[in-house]
Chains A and B, each alone.
Chain A
Amino acid sequence: MNTSDLWLRQAAAILRLEIKKSFLARRGWWIYLLALGPVGICGLHSLVSARSTRMHHTLNEDYHVYAGIFQFFYLRLGIFFGCVGIFSNLFRGEVLEKTLHYYFLAPVRREVLALSKYLAGLAAAIFFFAGSVALAWLLIGAHFGPGWREFLLGNGLAQLGWYTLTAVLACLGYGAVFLVMGLVSRNPMLPAALVMVWEGINAFLPSFLQRFSVIFYLKSLSPVEVPVTGGLAILAVASDPAPAWLAISGLLAVSGLVLYVAARQARTMEISYSE
């Protein structure tokens, strides 16, 4: 067996083992709740509106509301916290449970291990969050019947594609960031809190600094723009969105770079289970 075949086989084994251990495990309940919450509300909305005799809103309004939820709930909270939970646990959780040595004692290159664990986390994150984003989008306007079908066949599908792609890229980017944090920091919540603040104040940063965040590129990819409203709107700094090709390749490049750091970190990591 040549080396690349071996790596692939090992990666597949890690992927399956990780999914077996964690996918739909009881302790992940809060992640499922995060992902399924909006789907539930959109479903409820669709159900209630479909039974109502008079419609109080338009399809366009619903999709604007969805755009807000996508940016302010999914990207900033749901996917963000979900990725904190999934990815920072990949190594740190094993240290806490004193089980990482089983992996380190297998003849697997640490780089392969880090990447495979990342892919397992990514599979779960994409399944839950990209799935939730798509499902919620489909549900929110479903009660409009023929109008919705028309919209779907028009530019609706493209919109759905962009939302899903953005969610996937969000999982990819945040996932890589939190994987590194789980490897580097004993308490990944401190750097995660810093990233949260940085991403949160992104709209109020100078245009140049806005580009040093994941949310800037994700916002650029979102098909419907949502302006900052409320009292703080006055402080927001308007910034031209990045072109789609740049946003996508930028996010992929940053994720790749961060994964490289993660692999390097995993390579030199030692087993130390003491707190």
Chain B
Amino acid sequence: MNAGAIELDDVSKFYGDVLGVNRVHLSIPTGVTSLVGPNGSGKTTLMNLITGLIRPTRGQVRVLGLSPAKHPDILRKIGYCTQFDAFPKGLTGYQFVYWFLRLHGFPRAEANALTRQALERTGMREAADRHVASYSKGMRQRVKLAQAIAHNPSVLVLDEPLNGLDPMARAETIALFREWAGEGRFVLVSSHILHEVDRISDQVILLSHGYVVAEGQIQGVRSEVKDHPIQVLVRCDQPGLLASRLFEQDHVVEARIHEDGKGLLIRTRDADRLYLLLNRVVLELGLEVESVAPADEDVNSVYQYLIGAEGGTA
């Protein structure tokens, strides 16, 4: 097993007769990895397994080479912002972060400094001395984030971390995720907001009914979905002309002129052949091409193709 990654080897978790996740094999690299799936697909179960809050019924979970359920020391390197909107009673935001740092064994001065740093990073410095009970939903979410990052973990697990945040805070938080990922940390995020997943993820893991449906970089996952033709949007000056040439090709399923008349949406079963053909046709016809971009190489499309209506809400 790779001692520098998050590894799940044939992991299953059952809650009595209810399936949490089944036969999961995953190796999660550094960077931002998004867990995507409908409610009840097993996202939180997977996160709880990785952080040792629950134990697998079968298989092994290893984080940086150690099992979190058996080696509490590995928890020094893990920060988990859970979906539970609950806090120990009677504590201020500052005390909440500070006391759990003391539980890590940090001496007073260091815990103080780390608490201030974490609250600063999440924009909670000003409200730190207020009781958590008086916080708004967004503030509670941010103080939870502060608590999860305060000890500088190298593995960050974040269950719906953008919930309740206003657009400004969302943008800042996403930037923070990118920053952590850039520092070579593991950032595992679950989110319902697919276009944001697109923006932040280096790779995605799609879950449905407790099974991993797909994993990897989104382009790679998309190219594996063979039964759905790939969509490419070509912005050019003569989309009608281009369409007439493309219709001759057997791998082109559909070519539709964009609503503004300045683009062509092409659906093809063979993207490589399409790109080669485009090069040739553009030169032959002397078209002015503004851009050629995949139109469904995003989490939303992949989600729709792989999970679709059966998944309900993401």
CB–CB under 8 A between A and B in the complex?
yes
Asked whether any CB of chain A lies closer than 8 Å to the CB of B55, the reply is: yes
Q: Assess the B53–A102 pair: CB atoms within 8 A.
A: no
Question: Interface with A: B27-35, B75-83, B167-175, B298-306, which one?
Answer: B75-83
Of A21, A108, A270, the residue contacting B90 (CB under 8 A) is A21
Q: How many A-B contacts if CB must be within 8 Å? A: 80
Complex Cα gap A101–B53 (Å): 7
B79 nearest CB neighbor, chain A only: A105
Complexed CA–CA distance, A268 and B54 (Å) = 9
Question: Please, which residues of chain A bring their CB within 8 A of the CB of B88?
Answer: 17, 21, 97, 99, 102
Give the docked Cα–Cα distance between A14 and B80 (Å).
19
Which residue on B lies nearest to A97, using beta carbons?
B86
Q: How far is the CB of B69 from chain A (nearest CB, A)?
A: 9
Residues of chain A within 8 A (CB-CB) of B86 are 97-99
1/0 per residue, CB under 8 A from A, across B14-26: the answer is 0100000000000
The answer to whether A105 touches B91, judged by C-beta atoms less than 8 angstroms apart, is no
A98 CA / B54 CA spacing, docked (Å): 15
Query: Are B75 and A105 in contact, CB atoms less than 8 angstroms apart?
Result: yes
- A13 touching B102, Cβ below 8 Å: yes
Are B99's CB and A17's CB within 8 A? yes
Give Cα A271 to B51, complex, Å.
Answer: 11
Q: Does B60 contact A (CB under 8 A)?
A: no
- Min CB distance B153 to A, Å, is 10
Q: Does B95 sit within 8 A of A, measured CB to CB?
A: yes
- A87-107 CB contact bits vs B (8 Å, 1 = yes)? 000000000011101111111
Report how far A270 CA is from B52 CA in the complex, Å.
8
Residue of A nearest to B15 (CB): A272
Closest-by-CB residue of A relative to B103 is A106
Question: Distance (Å) between the CB of B47 and the closest chain A CB?
Answer: 11
What residues of B have a CB within 8 angstroms of the CB of A272 in the complex? 15, 54
Contact B103 A14 (CB under 8 A): yes
A25 at the interface (CB under 8 A from B): yes
- Residues of A with C-beta under 8 A to B80: 101, 105
Report the bound CA distance from A14 to B105 in whole Å.
11
Flag if B53 contacts A271 (CB, 8 Å).
yes
Assuming A13-B103, A105-B80, is B87 touching A99 (CB within 8 A)? yes
Residue contact A103 to B72, C-beta cutoff 8 Å: no
Instruction: Sort A-B residue pairs by CB-CB distance and give the 8 closest, nearest first.
Output: A13-B102, A98-B86, A107-B75, A106-B103, A271-B53, A270-B54, A98-B84, A17-B99
